[in-house]
């Protein structure tokens, strides 16, 4: 697979990188394609590479001692992931990265990013901004999980996922489509498959979404926002 260095500028961290830096990253990078369900890396592996997703979608998940999973983040095209290894010495990935659909990513050695950061302030600034956005999102989600009931959490999750990985589909009105299983949504909202199924069925009755196999179509975003804010009853 050939990659145009200029494409890398779509990655937020590289948005103001000079052409020659982009070239270096592309040259240093290895393109890796994996199938749906396969893994870019596992939690606990030495974090030797960071990745830029070029095509597809993926999720970052953590597994508990008992094997239960939670979804920490979903990754879409031109997002960077697994970059913590460039900051900490001898780091291991704190999460597992799994493809939600056939996906391609550029893998670049963490040490190279680290080296580049030595004398490129833009990399530092952008990476820090990325990190602060993670911190804020995680803090918010933590609060939600601690204080909100399931229905609201699911609404918040669906809206967040729609913003992150949703694809606009034409058709009647504005709809957003998400290629997610009930299990995925459950893991992202801190509940179970069963509860997600029941909540979605209810929403479908109320005309808010259309739920299919591995698919959620948002028909009425405003209604979902209302639920997420607790304004519905």
Partner DNA sequence: TTTTGTCTTTGCGCTGGCGCAAATAACAAA
Partner DNA sequence: TTTGTTATTTGCGCCAGCGCAAAGACAAAA
> Site for its own copies (CB under 8 A): which residue of 88, 167, 206, 215?
88
For residue 156, the tally of other CB atoms under 10 A from its CB is 22
Instruction: Work out whether 138 is an interface residue with its own copies (CB under 8 A).
Output: yes
Per-residue mark of binding to DNA, 90-119 (x: CB under 7 A): ------------------------------
d(CA 154, CA 160): 10
Exactly one of 3, 150, 217, 225 binds DNA (CB under 7 A); which one? Answer: 150
Q: How far is Cα 190 from Cα 211, in angstroms, rounded to an integer?
A: 19
Say how many C-beta atoms besides its own lie within 10 A of residue 198's C-beta: 15
171 is a contact residue toward DNA (CB under 7 A): no
Is residue 195 a contact point for its own copies (CB under 8 A)?
A: no
Which residue matches tokens 């997703």? Answer: 53
- Choose one: 1-9, 33-41, 105-113, 127-135; the region binding its own copies (CB under 8 A): 127-135
Number of shown-chain residues binding DNA (CB under 7 A): 22
DSSP-derived secondary structure for 167-210: EEE-SSS-EEEE---HHHHHHHHTS-HHHHHHHHHHHHHTTSEE
Residue 92: φ, ψ to 5°: -115, 155
CA distance 61 to 69: 7
Tokens of 160: 């967040």
> For DNA, which stretch binds (CB under 7 A), given 51-59, 123-131, 178-186, 222-230?
178-186
Residue 69 found at the interface with DNA (CB under 7 A): no
Interface residue list for its own copies (CB under 8 A): 62, 64-66, 68, 70, 72, 84, 87-88, 91, 94-95, 117-118, 121, 124-125, 127-129, 131-132, 134-136, 138-148, 190, 229-230
Positions touching DNA (CB under 7 A) are: 149-151, 181-183, 190-198, 200-201, 211-215
């Amino acid at each position: 697979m050939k990659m145009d260095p200029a494409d890398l500028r779509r990655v937020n961290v590289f948005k103001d990188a000079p052409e020659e830096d982009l070239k270096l990253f592309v040259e240093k990078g290895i393109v890796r394609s994996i199938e749906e369900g396969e893994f870019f890396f596992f939690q606990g592996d030495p974090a030797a590479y960071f990745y830029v997703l070029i095509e597809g979608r993926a999720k970052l998940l953590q597994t508990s001692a008992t094997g239960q999973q939670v979804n920490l983040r979903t990754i879409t095209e031109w997002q960077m992931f697994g970059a913590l290894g460039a900051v900490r010495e001898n780091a291991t990935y704190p999460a597992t990265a799994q493809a939600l659909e056939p996906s391609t990513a550029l893998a670049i050695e963490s040490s190279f990013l680290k080296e580049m950061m030595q004398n490129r302030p833009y990399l530092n600034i952008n990476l820090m901004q990325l990190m602060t956005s993670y911190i804020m999102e995680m803090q918010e989600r933590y609060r939600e999980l601690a204080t909100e009931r399931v229905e609201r959490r699911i609404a918040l999750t669906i809206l967040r996922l729609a913003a992150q990985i949703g694809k606009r589909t034409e058709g009647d009105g504005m709809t957003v489509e998400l290629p997610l299983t009930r299990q995925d949504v459950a893991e992202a909202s801190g509940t179970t498959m069963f509860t997600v199924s029941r909540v979605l069925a209810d929403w479908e009755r109320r005309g808010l979404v259309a739920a299919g196999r591995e698919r959620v179509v948002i028909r009425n975003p405003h209604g979902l926002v209302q639920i997420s804010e607790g304004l519905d009853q």
